[in-house]
Amino acid sequence: QVYGHELDSLESCVFEREHRALSGRPSDDPESLLRAADLQRRRRVFLERQVTERSRVWPWLDEQQARLQEHRELAAVYAEELSAASETVEALQAENATLEFRAFEECAIAAA
């Protein structure tokens, strides 16, 4: 991507220099007019290519946005599930502590 950006920048620089070079020539010179027309045609092709390349980004961006939204929704579901599981763990730990205490009491009574 950096390479493409540098190439675009370089092409823009070349167009600008060619345009300045042609600007110094007489406007009624047929060769200058042909070169100017060719320069404009190449510039148009260059700009069309840039627009096409940049327009490819929008569908990708929309796709990434949809995936992000899906992950957010999944994260909310997982957070809910984790909260429910944590409550279950706490309840089971409390029940386990109660059962251990009762078992300890029963052992103490049986031993006495």
Would you state the pLDDT for residue 1?
Answer: 59
Would you state the pLDDT for residue 19?
Answer: 81
Closest CA to 15 of 32, 40, 52, 45: 40
Domain edges within the chain: 1-55
Would you state the pLDDT for residue 35?
Answer: 85
Would you state the pLDDT for residue 5?
Answer: 74
In the structure encoding, which two tokens stand for residue 29, read together?
A: 């010179």
Would you state the pLDDT for residue 90?
Answer: 97
* pLDDT, tens digit only, all 112 positions of the chain: 566 678 778 888 888 888 888 787 777 778 888 888 898 999 999 889 888 888 887 888 889 999 999 999 999 999 999 999 999 999 999 999 999 999 999 999 988 7
Q: What is the pTM of this model?
A: 0.45
